[in-house]
Amino acid sequence: VLPELDSSNSALLERARTGWVLPALLVAERQTAGRGRMGRQGLTQPAGGSLTFSLGFPLGQVDVSGLSVVVGYSLAQALDAQHRHELRVKWPNDLWFRQRKFGGILVEICTQGAQRYAVVGVGINVAQPPVLPPATAQQPQPQAPAWVQEFDAQATAPWVLQQVAAPLARAMQQFMNRGFATWQERFAVRDALAGQAVWLSDGSTGTAAGVNPQGAFLIEESQGRLREIRSEEISVRPLDMMQAQ
């Protein structure tokens, strides 16, 4: 645990590039240059307002498809095992509470010869976060965020870490041994988009139909045709949210 880092993901990736590929959990009480998916910059919050950490581990030869979905499911399950808060996972890497994002996941892979090292970055809003900046060109307007203290008023960053770290490490071990297929049914219970009309950032629309055994997002298009979305560079949102903007 360090008081401040630019990015916990960057720190573990830099270590891996020098040959240091042991399993590691790195927590930053404050991140000054956290990153999100598609190059988005993370917001800096006061110490304790959020939990930011990275878990690094050697991958072996497992197919990494669906890894971010497994991470999301593990985190939601650890924080809401009894489904009292109905925490959900929006494919491929967002944690949702009441249709609003309270956490995000960034998976990055470092390859050194035959060795692959995965770094899973997690950011969770513990307290109410600052107002999000407006969207840049070609991006939809950001949704109002959620935070853990909305559904657990006594939550702190150390408490959240205590809840999620060990279950996440176990989930990663299971993923490395068995891949994604065994997680398909479990994810369906937490799927934030299941059965909803959705909008994709490539301009297409359809109905969300879960994920396949490899973790790809399935969308039912016109005439019942199923389309697989594998690229995490495509953003998916409920269509009614887009129409409301």
Is residue 175 classed as helix, strand or coil in its secondary structure? helix
Residue 146 pLDDT: 97
Interval 198-231: pLDDT, tens: 999 888 999 999 999 999 999 999 878 999 998 7
Please give the radius of gyration of the chain, using alpha carbons only, rounded to the nearest integer: 17
- Closest Cα partner for 112 from 1, 238, 20, 223? 20
Residue 38 pLDDT: 44
The answer to whether the CB of 143 falls within 8 A of the CB of 135 is: no
Which strands make up the sheet holding 94-97, listed edge to edge?
24-28, 50-58, 115-125, 100-112, 94-97, 88-90
CA angle centred on 31, ends 25 and 33, rounded to 5°: 115
Interval 9-24: pLDDT, tens: 999 999 999 999 999 9
For the cut 80, the answer to whether the pLDDT of residue 158 exceeds it is: yes
State both tokens at 173. 């071990």
| Mean predicted confidence (pLDDT) in 187-200 | 96
For the cut 80, the answer to whether the pLDDT of residue 128 exceeds it is: yes
For the cut 50, the answer to whether the pLDDT of residue 91 exceeds it is: yes
State both tokens at 28. 């930053």
| Mean predicted confidence (pLDDT) in 70-75 | 98
The answer to whether the CB of 87 falls within 8 A of the CB of 96 is: yes
| Mean predicted confidence (pLDDT) in 92-120 | 93
At 181, the pLDDT band (50, 70, 90 cuts) reads very high
Residue 96 pLDDT: 98
In b/e form, how buried is each residue of 36-61, taking b as 16+ CB within 10 angstroms? Answer: bbeeeebbebeeebbbbbbbbbebee
Helix or strand holding residue 24 (H, E): strand 24-28
Q: Tell me, what DSSP letter sits at residue 35?
A: B
Whole-number average pLDDT of the chain: 89
